[in-house]
Amino acid sequence: MCRIGAIKSLNYVHPSQALLLMQSQQKGHDNSGFAMVMHDLGGIFEGYKHLPTLSLACTDEGLKVAEDMLHAAGFQRVLQWVPEVNDKPGLDINAMPNYVFETFDYPKHIKKSSQKEKEELLLDMRLNLRAALEDDEMGFVYSFWPDVVTLKEIGDPRDIGTYFNLWEADSKFTARVITAQCRQNTNYDIVRYAAHPFFLQGFTALANGENTFYQKNKEFQRKLHRGYIGFESDSQCFLYTLHYVHRQLGWPLSYYKHVITPLPFEEIGHRDDAQELQAIRQSLSHLEINGPNTIIGVLPDNTLFTCCDAKKLRPIVVGRSSDTVVFSSEVCGINEILPDRDWETDIYPNEREIVVIDNNLEVQRWKQ
Amino acid sequence: METMKIHDITPNDLPWKIRYDASRCTLCGSCVAACSFRAIAPKVERRRMVFSEGDFPEPKTRFSAIPVIRQVHSIKNYCRGCGICEKVCPNDAIGPLRNVDNRHSIVTRCLAGDSVKRGGRKNLESTSRTLDRLRVGRISQMTDPSLDAQRHTFDLLAPFGRILPPGKLPFAVGADGKLQTTGQSPPVRWIYPVIIGDMSIGALSWRMWEGVAMATAYLNEECGLPVRMCSGEGGVPVRLLKSKYLKYMILQIASGHFGWNRILKAMPHMTEDPAGVLIKIGQGAKPGDGGLLMAQKVAEHIQAIRGVPKADLLSPPNHQGLYSIEESVQKMFLSMNAAFKFRVPVAIKVAASATSVSVFNNLVRDPYNIVGGFFLDGIDGGTGAAHEVSLDHTGHPIVSKLRDCYLAAVTQGRQGQIPLWAAGGLGKTGDLAADAFKMMCLGANGVFTGKLILQMAGCVGNDMGRCNACNTGLCPAGITTQEPALAHRLDPEKVAQNIVNYYLAMDQELKKLMAPIGNSSLPVGRSDALVSTDRAVAERLQIQYVC
């Protein structure tokens, strides 16, 4: 069973913390990979929060294709960070030749456009890049978004940490929100895109479980938005539903839970908002999830949240100190990161709530 | 020696022969009295008997008149093989035997100059069903814990009514951050996914109808299963229209418009809205023909309810006077939706035919969101009476047609907007839960069933040509007859009890199928849960092939 985790802090945190968080749950994963998404970046990216950063793993040829496309589209590179890799023998890692994190300035013609127009352009650019690099596996574009970087790799998480020199904390590569998972996709083909967390237009989601409504979700989502592609993993559906409900339909986050795990009809009947809840349930029945799941999500404003399936078949714990909140599949992960916290205040979310952490680390528990 | 008349009908020309053992018969007369078809009759035979009275053999012969039971050699009163004689015989002296050499379909047409009419079931291809080549193949593994059918809660409900796409829901975010409804949306009822199919009050005996209605009420009020019953086209007794039980009834209107006048007249007096309205565009087993209620079954109360004389009543498959599907949609809009002030969902029922997907596509794209359900009836469906040639030879199997409709919706991203309901031979093997489950995986929101309900009540007919006399008004089980003596054979309370018990068992079985695939709501569209060992079936239905 895979394990997931997330850290949100008032201070910038190095990915080594995420590695430690996942390392302590090592027995729960199969060492097939490690992936993380960092939001609200610090270090070298801190000064470029308003500009999009491309997260790319590629071949030399792929890099050239991607850069040519970006330049042709009018994007100008303002920052490039290539992690120093430690390619020592014996590491269990299936690495790509290049890992590139590049920050770009918007094309001139769009600089004065609305935020929404910029967001659509960034998505189109990422989709185009992905399509162009798909041949011969020239490259994998994980995210292209302001203040977000993504790293995904196949192999043993410890070795991946060693390869990217992530065990040693420094101040260059940090973020206030880091979500991570230690496992490659195991239900379907093992491909780099399949590793959690998944990202789309500022939204990140990762999950621990099995979406038995995958086929239904996928068949429905494919027609909803051009960005809903890939479907390399059944959990990708959770991200697309989050994006659809919150961004496309413009509904408050609290309704996400009503969409994915609707209340039974009997309970809906007793609610004051029965009319709305029933309409949601019937219109979005194809976005429902079934099967065991815990979902962790990040919104574009860096809000972090978690919720579970309707029967609470997968675990999640929320631990916190004054400046940090940690989500973890197992409490041992939190013990590693926040050994001195008051564990009596740990939250074990139930099947009918969303636990939300805002940017002041205020914890809210929303009953469905 | 008598002159041989080659064209005389003998039992060997008929589908069933009567097996009779005079030595076991006590001449009680039960079989003759019970045979509703008058296919057997008492007769006196001249018998020669050899006997000896003295101490030594001294054979003598005697002729005497002996009463026996004989099969009637009549093309009108032929034996249907229902086996009622066998059921009532105290001595096992009589019973029907299938006649493989029968010439029935030929001699009937030759003698009467008319087509063969039959009630009941389809006789061709009766042994092979696509549904039986499908298995629920997705069993949960360690990463996918199964649910517990006994312990966990399941939501076994299906929508009846037009579902708006999410973007069209009349929602606005209020000041409190909650969604608020700001406009109208079509009515939707969430009901049990197995509807009691449309069998009219003329097709069934009043006692059968009463039994089904009782079962429906009991299932709703005592068992908590919101099962709905469709009235069929025959109209509804006014007393029921005015009663609180109307809320469990789906009223059907069809091309014959039988009883519709009375329904409209009763509207001001209705205390409840009906569960829905179903408009029949085409018919399952006989898409080219139409349902048939023979004059024999048009009893006085049927004449009153339908407002017709005692005559054969054909319910044609197409809306008379309608030019196109658009027009029929318009008709629904004008008549039913408006009549019930948009409180009652209106669905349509069509025959599974080569064109049903076109009809579905047309309706799903309708910008006014009028149609609240697409009922699709396959070749094995249909009510109790039609010309045999229609029953056996017209129509389309339901499985692939339902799948086509679902995939057509998927292609347009409109799945679920018009709920799909399917029928036609479901539950033929007795396992309705399995059939319903598989149909849902293929895209149905729910199913409806008619003939299985008859089987629950005690119908003795089958797909091998046994009985199938629903059209004659002589149903030996009292299910599809208006003859008081026959109808009284049926105990409505027992009918209701059987239906209720079957539904309870089926409900349990549905959960038993949902649990291992990890579903707590209906598995609509979960084609990944199905596998087939037949490559052609797998390819056609776009599901996994296993061997």
Mean pLDDT, residues B165-182 taken together: 94
Residue B107 lies in a domain: yes
At which residue do the structure tokens 């097996």 appear?
B19
Mean pLDDT, residues A103-115 taken together: 94
Contacting residues of A for B442, CB less than 8 Å apart: none
pLDDT of residue A247: 97
How many angstroms separate the Cα of B280 from the Cα of each of A316, A335, B234, B246, B419?
A: 52, 65, 12, 19, 16
- Contact (Cβ atoms closer than 8 angstroms) between residue B188 and residue B159: yes
Contacting residues of A for B413, CB less than 8 Å apart: 220, 222-224
- For residue B447, what are the β-bridge partners? B194, B422
Contacting residues of B for A310, CB less than 8 Å apart: 520
- For residue A143, what are the β-bridge partners? A55
pLDDT of residue B321: 58
Residue B178 lies in a domain: no
**A299 band by pLDDT with thresholds 50, 70 and 90:** very high
At which residue do the structure tokens 């929060």 appear?
A49
User: If you ran DSSP here, which 8-state letter would residue A93 be given?
Assistant: B
Per residue in A71-86, pLDDT (tens digit) is: 999 999 999 999 889 9
At which residue do the structure tokens 């008081």 appear?
B484
Residue B535 lies in a domain: no
- Which uninterrupted H or E stretch holds A65? helix A60-72
Contacts of B321 (CB under 8 A, 6+ apart): none
- Residue A189 CA from chain centroid, whole number: 19
CA A16 – CA A13 distance, rounded (Å): 8
| Total number of domains in chain B | 2
> Per the CB < 8 Å rule, is B190 touching A265?
yes
Contacts of B77 (CB under 8 A, 6+ apart): B37, B38, B39
Shared domain for B372 and B472, answered yes or no, is yes
Q: Which residue has the higher pLDDT, B351 or B474?
A: B474
A220 closest CB neighbour out of B142, B169, B413: B413
Compute how many other C-beta atoms are within 10 angstroms of the C-beta atom of residue B340: 19
Minimal Cα–Cα distance from A325 to chain B, Å? 25
3-class SS at B413? coil
* A-chain residue closest to B155, CA distance: A264
**Cis geometry, peptide bond prior to residue A197 (ω within 30 degrees of 0):** yes
Amino acid in position A133:
L
> Per the CB < 8 Å rule, is A311 touching B185?
no
**A56 band by pLDDT with thresholds 50, 70 and 90:** very high
Which domain CATH number covers B64? 3.30.70.20
A282 closest CB neighbour out of B145, B159, B173: B159
Residue B122 lies in a domain: no
- Which uninterrupted H or E stretch holds A357? strand A353-357
- Contact (Cβ atoms closer than 8 angstroms) between residue A190 and residue A154: yes
Contacting residues of B for A285, CB less than 8 Å apart: 416, 521, 524
Mean pLDDT, residues B4-23 taken together: 92
pLDDT > 90: percent of chain A: 82
> Per the CB < 8 Å rule, is A250 touching B180?
no
B155 closest CB neighbour out of A248, A265, A291: A265
Domain of residue B226, residue span = 186-517
Would you state the structure tokens that stand for residue B96, as one six-digit string?
């029907």
CA A81 – CA A103 distance, rounded (Å): 9
Would you state the structure tokens that stand for residue B485, as one six-digit string?
């003596």
CA B516 – CA A286 distance, rounded (Å): 20
CATH 3.60.20.10 assigned to A4-367: yes
What is the ipTM score, two decimals?
Answer: 0.92
B519 closest CB neighbour out of A186, A283, A290: A290
CA B24 – CA B69 distance, rounded (Å): 12
At which residue do the structure tokens 């037949």 appear?
B534
- Contact (Cβ atoms closer than 8 angstroms) between residue B378 and residue B353: no
Contacts of A109 (CB under 8 A, 6+ apart): A74
- Contact (Cβ atoms closer than 8 angstroms) between residue A55 and residue A142: yes
Instruction: Choose the mutation target among A244, A290, A308, A309 for the interface with B, i.e. most B CBs under 10 Å.
Output: A290
CA B252 – CA B257 distance, rounded (Å): 9
> Per the CB < 8 Å rule, is B157 touching A265?
yes
Length of chain B, please?
547
* B-chain residue closest to A186, CA distance: B143
Mean pLDDT of all residues belonging to chain A: 93
pLDDT of B475 higher than 80:
yes
Which domain CATH number covers B378? 3.20.20.70
How many angstroms separate the Cα of B482 from the Cα of each of B196, B298, B314, B473?
A: 21, 8, 18, 6
- Contact (Cβ atoms closer than 8 angstroms) between residue B62 and residue B94: no
Residue B456 lies in a domain: yes
Domain boundary among B114, B133, B150: B114
- Give the number of beta-carbon pairs within 8 Å between A and B: 108
B413 closest CB neighbour out of A223, A262, A264: A223
Q: Among the listed ranges A16-30, A148-162, A269-283, A352-366, which one has the minimum average pLDDT value?
A: A16-30
Minimal Cα–Cα distance from B142 to chain A, Å? 9
Q: Where are the domains of chain A?
A: 4-367
CA A149 – CA A140 distance, rounded (Å): 13
Residue B432 lies in a domain: yes
* A-chain residue closest to B523, CA distance: A213
- Residues in chain A whose Cβ is within 8 Å of chain B: 1, 186-187, 209-210, 212-216, 219-220, 222-224, 244, 248-252, 254-255, 262, 264-265, 273, 275-276, 278-280, 282-286, 288, 290-292, 310-311, 313
pLDDT of residue B197: 87
Shared domain for B190 and B106, answered yes or no, is no
Contacting residues of A for B412, CB less than 8 Å apart: 223
Q: Among the listed ranges A64-68, A229-233, B283-287, which one has the minimum average pLDDT value?
A: B283-287
Minimal Cα–Cα distance from A219 to chain B, Å? 6
Please choose, from the candidates B434, B239, B448, the residue with its C-alpha nearest in 3D space to the C-alpha of residue B349.
B448
pLDDT of residue B315: 77
- Contact (Cβ atoms closer than 8 angstroms) between residue B294 and residue B473: yes
Mean pLDDT, residues B174-178 taken together: 93
Compute how many other C-beta atoms are within 10 angstroms of the C-beta atom of residue B308: 17
Minimal Cα–Cα distance from B192 to chain A, Å? 12
Residue B159 lies in a domain: no
* B-chain residue closest to A241, CA distance: B166
CA A41 – CA A55 distance, rounded (Å): 13
Minimal Cα–Cα distance from A110 to chain B, Å? 28
CA B402 – CA B446 distance, rounded (Å): 11
pLDDT of residue B145: 56
pLDDT of B330 higher than 60:
yes
pLDDT of residue B146: 66
- Residues in chain B whose Cβ is within 8 Å of chain A: 138, 140, 142-145, 147, 152-153, 155, 157, 159, 163-167, 169, 171, 173, 177-181, 185, 188, 190, 410, 412-413, 415-416, 517-521, 524-528
Mean pLDDT of all residues belonging to chain B: 90
3-class SS at A345? helix
CA B419 – CA A289 distance, rounded (Å): 19
Minimal Cα–Cα distance from A44 to chain B, Å? 37
Amino acid in position B22:
A
Contacts of B80 (CB under 8 A, 6+ apart): B15, B16, B37, B39, B466, B467, B468, B469, B476
- Which uninterrupted H or E stretch holds B303? helix B300-306
Please choose, from the candidates B415, B438, B418, the residue with its C-alpha nearest in 3D space to the C-alpha of residue B428.
B438
Shared domain for B350 and B497, answered yes or no, is yes
Q: Among the listed ranges B5-14, B81-90, B154-163, B475-484, which one has the minimum average pLDDT value?
A: B5-14
